[in-house]
Amino acid sequence: LSSPYRAPSVTIETPNSSTSLSSFPDCLFQHRQPLSSTLMPEIHREIARKISSMLLYQEKLLTDIEAKEMDHIAQ
């Protein structure tokens, strides 16, 4: 069972010298397009799927730990 807890890939962007300070707030506060109504259910499904797989993985780990503890107590 592969772990659903994968480290997110992070890209760090450094502003280049051509970016002037005066234009920085503009790009920072640009309004993003609102998510389309067709995309939202898809995102919710994906989130639910991820949470479910994490919970299943966690449940399996806990079961394994409990089984090992029982074996240890039994010995």
Q: What is the mean pLDDT of each run of 10 residues along the chain (75 residues)?
A: 57 54 55 70 92 94 94 92
φ, ψ at 35 (rounded to 5°):
-65, 140
Residue 52's pLDDT is what? 94
Tokens of 36: 């389309």
Domain extent listing, the chain: 35-74
Residue 54's pLDDT is what? 95
Residue 28's pLDDT is what? 57
**How many whole angstroms from its chain centre is CA 15?**
26
